[in-house]
C-alpha cells in the first residue's frame, strides 16, 4: 500500500461521521474520501455515494470497483453484520472490529456475561429468554429496576421502571409484543445504579490502548435531564467528573481488563471501544459498551485530537498503535446539537437551514441535512452539531451557544443547558 495517497471510504452518514471525515481530511495521506451514504453537509468534505450503511453487498462491490485502499466502518449495524470481515476477506484493510468482537455491543447479554466472568464492575443482572420467568423474577426486585433489550435498538432499548407494574409491562412489550423486534426476545434485567456518567472512547489494536479525552453526553431531550432519551443532545469534553483517580480506577478495573478478556475469548477487539461508565460510590462501573465511536461524543472529542487520525486508524488495523503518536490538546470542547422540533418522537423534515455569518473558529458537523440547489434542508431528527474548542469549558460552552445564534430553521430545537452540570462541577473542584 502506498502510504502517501490512499483512497478511503467511510461508512455512515451522521454528525459523528462528518466529524471523522473532517479529521481524516487533514491527513496528508488521504487522497480521496468517499462517504457511504454521507449526507448533504458531508458532501462538502467527501464524495457521497448513495449506498446505505447496511447494504453490505453494495458496499463491497463499490470498494472493489473503486479500488478502495482503506475503509472506516463507523455505525453499529454494519459492524454487527460483519462488514469488516467481508472487506478484509477481499484484501481491503479497515478500521472497525470484526463481527465476533462487535458482539460486545450487539448483545448486552454477552457483554454482561463477559464482565461477570472476568470480574469487571457492572450492575448486578439476570438474563431472560422466557417472559414468565422474567415476570416472576421482577416481583422481588428492588426499585427502580432497569430492563434492557439484548440487541441493538437505536439507544431506545433501555427502560428504567419505577414500579413493578411498569416493569412487567415493559417485559411484555419487549418479549411478547415485539417492541424491538428480535432485539427484545432476550432481555437483561439489572440493578439501578446512580452517579455521574462518563463516556470514554479508546483506540485499541488489541494490545495497546489509547483513550481519547473523556466526555459527557446529554441523552435526555429536555433541559435539566428531563424528557425522553435521545441519541444525544450535546457533549462536553473532557468530563470534569472523570478525575485522575476515577481514570486510574477505570483503566485498571475496566478498560484494560475488557481488552484482555476479549483476547482471552478469542474475540480480539480492534477499533474504537466506547465505555459508558457510571461513577458510583463504589467506583466506576460499566453501563454499556459500544463497539464504535459515540455520537455526539465524537463531535466533541475529535476536535481535541492533534495527531493524524488516518495514521492512528491504520496503526489500529496493523497492530502498531504502540509506535504511533496520539497527541491530545489540553483545551476544552462543547458540542451542541440542533434538532428538529419533536425529536426523538415525530418531527418534520425538509426545512430550509439558514446559516448566516457563522464564526470561522467554530465547527459545524451535519447529522441530518440534505443539499439541494446549493441550499441545505433538514432531513433528520438531529440536524447539526456545533463544536467550539476553547481554553476553558466555560468559554467553549459560551462560544457554541453564541454560534448557534447564526443558524435558523423552522422548529429548530436545542437544549439550553449543555455543559451546565459540568461547569458546576468545575466550580466545586
- Binding residues for ligand GLY, rule: CB under 6 A, are 155, 217, 232, 290, 294-295, 297
Member of 190, 297, 308, 317 binding ligand AMP (CB under 6 A): 190
Query: Does residue 219 touch ligand AMP according to CB under 6 A?
Result: yes
Q: Which stretch binds ligand AMP (CB under 6 A): 1-9, 13-21, 154-162, 230-238?
A: 154-162
Q: Binding partner of residue 197 among ligand AMP, ligand GLY, none, CB under 5 to 8 Å per kind?
A: ligand AMP
Closest Cα to residue 240, out of 392, 402, 400, 16?
392
Q: Which stretch binds ligand AMP (CB under 6 A): 83-91, 190-198, 298-306, 408-416?
A: 190-198
Q: Binding partner of residue 290 among ligand AMP, ligand GLY, none, CB under 5 to 8 Å per kind?
A: ligand GLY
- For the beta carbon of residue 402, count every other beta carbon within 10 angstroms: 13
Q: Binding partner of residue 268 among ligand GLY, ligand AMP, none, CB under 5 to 8 Å per kind?
A: none
User: For the CA atoms of 386, 389, 395, 400, what is the dihedral angle to 10 degrees?
Assistant: -10
Q: Using the minimum distance from each CB to ligand AMP, give the nearer residue, 1 or 154.
A: 154
The DSSP element (H or E) to which 388 belongs, if any, is strand 382-390
Query: Does residue 158 touch ligand AMP according to CB under 6 A?
Result: yes
Strand 47-48 to strand 30-37: parallel, antiparallel, or no bridges (unpaired)? Answer: parallel
Report, in Å, the least distance between residue 20 CB and ligand GLY: 13
188 close to 208: Cβ distance less than 8 angstroms: no
Query: Does residue 8 touch ligand AMP according to CB under 6 A?
Result: no
Q: Using the minimum distance from each CB to ligand AMP, give the nearer residue, 38 or 75.
A: 75
Question: How far is residue 199's CA from residue 55's CA, in Å, rounded to a whole number?
Answer: 29
Instruction: Tell me which long-range contacts 27-33 makes (C-beta under 8 A, separation of at least 24).
Output: 27/308, 27/309, 27/310, 27/311, 28/4, 28/308, 29/3, 29/4, 29/5, 29/308, 29/310, 29/311, 30/6, 30/310, 31/5, 31/6, 31/7, 32/7, 32/8, 33/8, 33/9
Query: Does residue 123 touch ligand AMP according to CB under 6 A?
Result: yes
Query: Does residue 192 touch ligand AMP according to CB under 6 A?
Result: yes
* CA atoms 225, 231, 234, 238: torsion sign: positive
Q: Using the minimum distance from each CB to ligand AMP, give the nearer residue, 156 or 394.
A: 156
Q: Using the minimum distance from each CB to ligand GLY, give the nearer residue, 27 or 303.
A: 303
Residue 225, CA distances (Å) to 7, 82, 228 in order: 42, 35, 9
Report how many residues bind ligand AMP under the rule CB under 6 A: 14
Q: Which stretch binds ligand AMP (CB under 6 A): 9-17, 65-73, 184-192, 340-348?
A: 184-192
Residue nearest to ligand GLY (CB): 294
Question: How far is residue 322's CA from residue 204's CA, in Å, rounded to a whole number?
Answer: 9
Q: Binding partner of residue 294 among ligand AMP, ligand GLY, none, CB under 5 to 8 Å per kind?
A: ligand GLY
Question: How far is residue 286's CA from residue 115's CA, in Å, rounded to a whole number?
Answer: 9
Report, in Å, the least distance between residue 343 CB and ligand AMP: 17
Q: Which stretch binds ligand AMP (CB under 6 A): 191-199, 201-209, 244-252, 346-354?
A: 191-199
Query: Does residue 197 touch ligand AMP according to CB under 6 A?
Result: yes
Report, in Å, the least distance between residue 189 CB and ligand GLY: 21
Report, in Å, the least distance between residue 104 CB and ligand GLY: 13
Report, in Å, the least distance between residue 316 CB and ligand GLY: 19
Report, in Å, the least distance between residue 108 CB and ligand GLY: 13
C-alpha cell at 259: 481488552
Report, in Å, the least distance between residue 288 CB and ligand AMP: 4
User: For the CA atoms of 293, 93, 20, 201, what is the dihedral angle to 10 degrees?
Assistant: 30
According to DSSP, the residues that pair with 363 across neighbouring strands are 387
Closest Cα to residue 65, out of 81, 79, 49?
49
Member of 12, 13, 75, 276 binding ligand AMP (CB under 6 A): 276
Q: Which stretch binds ligand AMP (CB under 6 A): 186-194, 253-261, 308-316, 349-357?
A: 186-194
Q: Where are the beta strands (DSSP E) in 245-368?
A: 271-280, 283-290, 332-340, 352-355, 362-366
Give the distance between the most distant pair of CA atoms in the chain.
Answer: 62
User: What are the residues binding ligand AMP (CB under 6 A)?
Assistant: 123, 146, 155, 158, 160, 190-193, 197, 219, 276, 287-288
Amino acid at each position: 500500500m502506498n502510504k502517501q495517497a490512499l483512497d478511503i471510504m467511510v461508512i455512515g452518514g451522521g454528525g459523528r461521521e462528518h466529524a471523522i471525515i473532517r479529521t481524516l481530511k487533514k491527513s496528508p495521506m488521504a487522497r480521496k474520501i468517499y462517504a457511504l451514504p454521507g449526507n448533504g453537509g458531508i458532501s462538502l468534505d467527501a464524495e457521497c455515494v448513495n449506498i446505505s450503511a447496511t447494504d453490505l453487498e453494495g458496499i463491497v462491490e463499490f470498494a472493489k470497483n473503486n479500488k478502495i485502499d482503506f475503509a472506516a466502518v463507523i455505525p453499529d449495524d454494519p459492524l454487527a453484520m460483519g462488514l469488516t470481515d467481508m472487506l478484509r476477506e477481499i484484501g481491503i484493510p479497515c478500521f472497525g472490529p470484526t463481527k465476533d468482537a462487535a458482539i460486545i455491543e450487539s448483545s448486552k447479554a454477552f457483554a454482561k456475561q463477559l464482565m461477570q466472568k472476568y470480574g469487571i464492575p457492572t450492575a448486578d443482572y439476570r438474563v431472560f429468554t422466557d417472559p414468565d420467568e422474567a415476570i416472576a423474577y421482577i416481583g422481588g426486585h428492588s426499585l427502580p429496576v432497569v430492563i434492557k433489550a439484548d440487541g441493538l435498538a437505536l439507544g431506545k432499548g433501555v427502560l428504567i421502571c419505577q414500579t413493578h407494574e411498569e416493569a412487567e409491562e415493559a417485559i411484555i412489550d419487549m418479549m411478547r409484543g415485539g417492541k424491538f423486534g428480535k432485539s427484545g426476545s432476550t432481555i437483561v434485567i439489572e440493578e439501578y445504579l446512580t452517579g455521574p456518567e462518563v463516556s470514554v472512547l479508546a483506540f485499541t489494536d488489541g494490545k495497546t490502548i489509547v483513550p481519547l479525552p473523556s466526555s459527557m453526553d446529554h441523552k435526555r431531550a429536555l433541559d435539566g435531564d428531563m424528557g425522553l432519551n435521545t441519541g444525544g443532545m450535546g457533549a462536553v469534553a473532557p468530563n470534569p467528573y472523570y478525575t485522575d483517580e476515577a481514570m486510574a480506577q477505570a483503566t485498571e478495573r475496566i478498560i484494560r481488563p475488557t481488552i484482555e478478556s476479549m483476547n482471552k475469548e478469542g474475540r480480539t477487539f480492534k477499533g474504537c471501544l466506547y465505555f459508558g461508565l457510571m461513577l458510583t460510590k463504589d467506583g466506576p462501573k460499566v453501563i454499556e459498551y459500544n463497539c464504535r465511536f459515540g455520537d455526539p461524543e465524537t463531535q466533541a472529542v475529535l476536535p481535541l485530537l492533534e495527531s493524524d487520525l488516518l495514521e492512528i486508524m491504520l496503526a489500529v488495523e496493523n497492530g502498531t498503535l504502540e509506535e504511533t503518536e496520539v497527541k491530545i490538546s489540553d483545551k476544552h470542547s462543547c458540542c451542541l446539537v440542533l434538532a428538529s422540533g419533536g425529536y426523538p418522537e415525530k418531527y418534520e423534515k425538509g426545512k430550509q437551514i439558514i446559516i448566516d455569518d457563522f464564526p470561522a473558529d467554530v465547527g459545524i458537523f451535519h447529522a441530518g441535512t440534505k443539499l439541494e440547489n446549493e441550499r441545505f434542508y433538514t432531513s433528520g431528527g438531529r440536524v447539526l452539531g456545533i463544536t467550539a474548542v476553547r481554553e476553558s469549558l466555560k468559554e467553549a460552552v459560551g462560544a457554541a451557544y453564541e454560534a448557534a445564534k447564526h443558524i435558523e430553521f423552522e422548529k429548530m430545537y436545542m437544549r439550553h443547558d449543555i455543559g451546565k452540570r459540568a461547569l458546576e462541577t468545575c466550580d466545586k473542584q
